[in-house]
Amino acid sequence: MGSFAVQRYAQILSSTLSSGEGKIPLPRHKGGVGDGPAAELHVRRQKSGDEGIVSMEADAVKQAKNTVCLWYDGDAEDAARFYAKTFPDSSVGTVYRAPGDYPSGKKGDVLTVEFTVMGIPCLGLNGGPAFNHNEAFSFAVATADQAETDRYWDAIVGNGGQESACGWCKDKWGLSWQITPLALTKALADPDPTAAKRAFEAMMQMKKIDIAAIEAAHRG
């Protein structure tokens, strides 16, 4: 788990643990999409005055050096499973569940989910309704042709998502995606500024990118 997730997990556990020290085994995910590595949570509670301080270390078999942490309102596992079935080189890893009841949930609730989206390691954090996704962060997906563009776009929008503009869309959890054909990138990078401008102006009129229309505009 990332450092923020570990801190939140520690806050949750602080209401369920008495003084002492031990290790809590974290369940191996058995979802069919991908079995995550087994992990063990080392919990240590120390007394400091009248307050108990919980420190934790999560030791997983595999741990990425840098992970994208995405905030969800209780449905991180659903999002992870959708991404895993929609995109190549994607999978669901370890699902971390609460070992006991806590103020905003109960034993067995999913706290965090490790998953990979097209090779990028991510951590879904069920942090509650305090924060929402916005366009300040997005996944930019390069597509080879119109069929691949349509497949990702239709999967995201058709699963409760929303079309935006210029190849942008949002999934049902509010996370933004840029579905960008390589043909568009190539046209916009043309050293001929007039040709690039025509492709750019065509793109500005689109929601999902139409490669044939971009190429026609680029040619003039």
pLDDT score at 42: 41
Six-digit token string for 157: 């929008």
Query: DSSP 3-state helix, strand, coil percentages of the chain (rounded to 5)?
Result: 30, 35, 40
pLDDT score at 47: 38
H/E stretch holding 117: strand 110-117
In this structure, are residues 114 and 123 in contact, taking their beta carbons and an 8 Å threshold? yes
CA dist 210 and 13 (Å) reads 50
Six-digit token string for 198: 């025509």
CA dist 103 and 183 (Å) reads 51
In this structure, are residues 111 and 98 in contact, taking their beta carbons and an 8 Å threshold? yes
User: How many residues comprise the chain?
Assistant: 220
For residue 122, what are the β-bridge partners?
68, 115
Work out the angle at residue 176's Cα, subtended by the Cα atoms of residues 170 and 178, and round it to the nearest 5 degrees.
Answer: 100
Q: Can you list the residues of the chain whose pLDDT is less than 50?
A: 1-2, 5, 12-61
In this structure, are residues 209 and 203 in contact, taking their beta carbons and an 8 Å threshold? yes
Under DSSP, the state recorded for 159 is: T
pLDDT score at 103: 84
pLDDT score at 11: 53
pTM: 0.73
pLDDT score at 64: 80
Phi, psi for residue 157 in degrees, rounded to 5: -70, -35
Q: Residue type at 215?
A: E
CA dist 63 and 142 (Å) reads 26
pLDDT score at 215: 98
pLDDT score at 28: 40
pLDDT score at 10: 52
